[in-house]
């Protein structure tokens, strides 16, 4: 564990990001992205390009992947093609990162409250959490109309409300600069994970204060 700022109090509530934090979704996201691009005669993207495109929701992913982004007259059509493909194939290769399930099981054994907040669209967030983490995650919130996506605090505050707790003894865990900003906007401490879509140098440059290299290290903070 790499602590720039030491966390000393015990937490009762753990708010997790999904993609790049609990689930390795990159292969399926890239496959659906490239399927939609290919179907519309557009150049496909490498896995490393998609890695850097993710973090702000799938609409932003496709905005970055499609030439000229939102200005492209085919944007909506390509984006909907991506969504439909991903809803069908989002579980083809996706799986929890090694160590994630035992970590969640131990948090649950300790009677901690666990929620997931994601910029992934709502239906996919719910289905992925139900499929992989149903016995651990009490609340799962994704992108939907009427609630601002991260880094706005709305999804986290909604998760806390649904859990019936305040943020006084909560901690936020994520893998990106968006997650760091989200935690700051919620006035929550943030644990940044090093197995996700961004590396240590990037996270430190974006203000990360506590870094973990393995899921089990979260249990010791």
Which residues are marked as active site?
17
Q: What does the angle CA 161 – CA 165 – CA 167 come to, to the nearest 5 degrees?
A: 95
Q: What does the angle CA 217 – CA 130 – CA 118 come to, to the nearest 5 degrees?
A: 65
The answer to whether residues 32 and 86 touch, using CB atoms and an 8 Å cutoff, is yes
| Cis status, amide bond into 151, omega within 30 of 0 | yes
Among 150, 152, 155, residue whose Cα is nearest residue 140: 155
Between the two ends of the chain, the Cα-to-Cα distance in Å is 9
Could you give the CA distance from residue 120 to residue 57 in angstroms, rounded to a whole number? 5
Could you give the CA distance from residue 181 to residue 161 in angstroms, rounded to a whole number? 20
Burial of residue 216 (number of CB atoms within 10 Å: 0-12, 13-18, 19+): middle
Burial of residue 162 (number of CB atoms within 10 Å: 0-12, 13-18, 19+): middle
């Amino acid at each position: 564990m790499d602590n720039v700022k030491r966390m000393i109090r015990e937490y009762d509530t753990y708010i997790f990001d999904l993609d790049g934090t609990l689930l390795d979704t990159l292969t399926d996201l890239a496959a659906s992205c490239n399927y939609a691009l290919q179907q519309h005669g557009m150049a496909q993207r490498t896995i490393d390009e998609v890695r850097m495109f993710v973090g702000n929701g799938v609409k932003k992913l496709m905005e970055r992947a499609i030439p000229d982004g939102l200005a492209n007259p085919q944007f909506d059509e390509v984006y909907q093609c991506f969504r439909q493909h991903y809803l069908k194939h989002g579980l083809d290769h996706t799986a929890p990162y090694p160590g994630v399930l035992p970590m969640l099981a131990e948090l649950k054994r300790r009677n901690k409250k666990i929620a997931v907040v994601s910029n992934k669209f709502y239906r996919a967030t719910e289905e992925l959490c139900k499929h992989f983490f149903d016995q651990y995650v009490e609340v799962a919130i994704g992108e939907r109309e009427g609630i601002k996506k991260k880094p706005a605090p709305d999804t986290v505050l909604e998760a806390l409300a649904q859990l019936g707790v305040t943020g006084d003894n909560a901690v936020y865990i994520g893998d990106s600069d968006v997650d760091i900003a989200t935690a700051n906007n919620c006035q929550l401490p943030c644990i940044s994970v090093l197995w996700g879509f961004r590396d240590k140098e990037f996270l430190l440059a974006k203000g990360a204060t506590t870094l973990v290299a393995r899921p089990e290290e979260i249990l010791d903070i």
